[in-house]
């Protein structure tokens, strides 16, 4: 059932356990950084940008390591890349259609 | 195995399909997650539309400590669900039960904290009086989700309510509440009385929709993870590899639930 690219080989569990403890620390740190950034007296645009960047980093850790996406098969990655394109398009649609409001929001 | 029994066997529950290189449940789960990305993507898109289109957007309406606590709870559960799967890879069923049980308990803790947050909103009120005063605060006895119409529809409606305004530093009516001493307000003098439910504006509408849908996913996760911890775990003794795969795909789903929260927390609580 395993393959060369599959992280689920018999030797994987021990190293994976250590790696996941490091991931736990990284995720907690990311959350604390997000909260700290949100409480700092920064401009709205800068704050939104920084906090969402840290959130994206945190999400990448979960998807990449915990969900094994970095070692996942091409088929799955292709499906997710396609989904990602549609997802980003969905998020951009309201911003593009409300450019005036967006400029006001991010100033 | 008879020919009939062989025909009934579900293929590729353990061994990968030659064309995809994956066992079926794993591919199916990823396709399901792709559809979930689009579902939450549509709601996040709505959030952006509402926020950039609003003249003002309420901020710091939610408890950051409780939101942070729930984030930590989901992070811990995400690690414990991986540890449960790793325990099965090591053929340690006892440890699996421990980690899987911890995951279910953490998921229940998340829902408990969330329900406290919801309860707090449904016992927090906005009041508008005939002389133009607007206040936010709590009613005596902290009743759940009252409204002016419901109060007036009571068989014996009270002549007045005892209202505890928020301190001036909190709430949308900051600075308008003269003091935080209890006020006796006549029912006849009230124009509006409503709890902070989804009807309290676009922020609360999108907050309850997004977190409510997420909470439904958490509840679904509790059912699935709980089943595999309890009665479903018997499969380990007959088909260990298939059971391990089931735990893996359930874990993938649970990680997705955490992924959604990672974006919900900053957008609703922090920004």
Q: Pick from B12, B30, B90 the residue to mutate for testing the A interface (most A CBs within 10 Å).
A: B30
CATH class of B24-52+60-121+201-270: mainly alpha
Region of poorest pLDDT, from A78-87, B6-15, B20-29, B118-127: B6-15
Q: Is A32's pLDDT higher than 90?
A: yes
User: Tens digit of pLDDT for each residue in A4-26?
Assistant: 334 444 445 567 778 888 999 99
Q: Is B140's pLDDT higher than 70?
A: yes
The residues spanned by each domain of chain B are 24-52+60-121+201-270, 125-195
Assigned token pair, A34: 């997000």
The per-residue pLDDT for A3 is 39
Cα-atom radius of gyration of chain A, to the nearest Å?
18
Assigned token pair, B233: 């775990």
The per-residue pLDDT for A10 is 45
Check CB contact of B88 with chain A, cutoff 8 Å.
no
Tell me the β-bridge partners of B185.
Answer: B161
Q: Is the predicted ipTM greater than 0.95, yes or no?
A: no
| CA-based end-to-end distance of chain A | 53
Taking CB atoms and an 8 Å limit, are B248 and A95 in contact across chains? no
Assigned token pair, B103: 């995951």
Residue B7: pLDDT band with limits 50, 70, 90 = low
The whole-model pTM stands at 0.87
Q: Pick from A77, A94, A102 the residue to mutate for testing the B interface (most B CBs within 10 Å).
A: A94
- Return the exposure string of A60-81: e unless at least 16 CB atoms fall within 10 Å of the residue's CB, then b: ebbbebbbbbeebbeebeebbe
Q: Is B35's pLDDT higher than 90?
A: yes
Check CB contact of B59 with chain A, cutoff 8 Å.
no
Mean pLDDT over each residue of chain B, to the nearest integer: 90
The per-residue pLDDT for B178 is 45
User: Residues of B with CB below 8 A from A51's CB?
Assistant: 266, 270-271
Alpha carbons B1 and B268: distance in angstroms, whole number? 56
Tell which wins on pLDDT, A95 or B221. B221
From residue B184, alpha-carbon distances to A53, B146, B188 in Å are: 48, 17, 12
Q: Is B155's pLDDT higher than 80?
A: yes
User: Tens digit of pLDDT for each residue in B81-108?
Assistant: 999 999 999 999 999 999 999 999 999 9
Of A12, A21, A55, the CB nearest to B266: A55
Alpha carbons B128 and A100: distance in angstroms, whole number? 33
B42 → chain A, closest CA residue? A90
User: Tens digit of pLDDT for each residue in A75-107?
Assistant: 889 999 999 999 998 888 877 777 655 556 555
The per-residue pLDDT for B1 is 47
The per-residue pLDDT for A70 is 87
Alpha carbons B198 and B209: distance in angstroms, whole number? 8
Alpha carbons A86 and B162: distance in angstroms, whole number? 52
Check CB contact of B69 with chain A, cutoff 8 Å.
no
Q: Is B13's pLDDT higher than 90?
A: no
A60 → chain B, closest CA residue? B259
Please identify among residues 37-76 of chain A the ones whose CB lies closer than 8 Å to any CB of chain B: 37-39, 47-48, 51-52, 54-55, 58-59, 62-63, 66-67, 73, 75-76
Q: How far is CA B141 from the centre of its chain?
A: 26
Check CB contact of B31 with chain A, cutoff 8 Å.
yes
């Amino acid at each position: 059932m395993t393959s060369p690219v599959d992280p689920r080989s018999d030797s994987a569990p021990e190293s994976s356990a250590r790696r996941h403890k490091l991931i736990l620390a990284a995720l907690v740190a990311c959350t604390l950084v997000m909260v700290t950034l949100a409480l700092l007296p920064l401009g709205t645009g800068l704050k939104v940008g920084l906090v969402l960047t840290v959130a994206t980093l945190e999400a990448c850790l979960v998807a990449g390591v915990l969900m094994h996406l970095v070692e996942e098969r091409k088929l799955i990655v292709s499906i997710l890349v396609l989904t990602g394109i549609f997802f980003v398009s969905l998020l951009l649609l309201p911003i593009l259609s409300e450019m005036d409001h967006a400029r006001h929001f991010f100033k | 195995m008879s020919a009939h029994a062989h025909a009934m066997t579900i293929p590729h529950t353990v061994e990968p399909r030659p064309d995809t290189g994956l066992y079926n449940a794993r591919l199916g789960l990823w396709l399901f997650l792709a559809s979930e990305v689009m579902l939450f993507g549509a709601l996040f898109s709505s959030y952006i539309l509402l926020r950039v289109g609003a003249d003002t957007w309420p901020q710091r309406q939610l408890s950051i400590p409780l939101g942070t606590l729930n984030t930590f709870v989901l992070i811990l559960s995400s690690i414990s669900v991986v540890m449960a799967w790793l325990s099965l890879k090591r053929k340690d069923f006892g440890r699996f039960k421990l980690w899987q049980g911890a995951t279910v308990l953490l998921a229940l803790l998340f829902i408990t904290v969330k329900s406290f947050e919801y309860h707090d909103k449904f016992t927090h009120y906005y009041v508008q009086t005939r002389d133009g005063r607007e206040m936010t605060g709590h009613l005596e006895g902290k009743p759940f989700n009252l409204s002016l119409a419901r109060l007036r529809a009571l068989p014996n409606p009270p002549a007045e309510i005892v209202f505890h305004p928020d301190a001036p530093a909190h709430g949308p009516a900051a600075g308008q509440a003269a003091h935080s001493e209890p006020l006796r307000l006549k029912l006849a003098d009230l124009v509006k009385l409503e709890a902070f439910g989804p009807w309290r504006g676009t922020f609360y509408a999108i907050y309850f929709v997004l977190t409510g849908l997420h909470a439904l996913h958490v509840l679904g996760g509790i059912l699935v993870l709980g089943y595999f911890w309890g009665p479903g775990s018997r499969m380990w003794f007959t088909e260990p590899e298939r059971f391990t795969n089931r735990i893996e795909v359930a874990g993938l789903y649970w990680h997705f639930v955490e992924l959604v929260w990672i974006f919900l927390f900053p957008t609703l609580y922090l920004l």
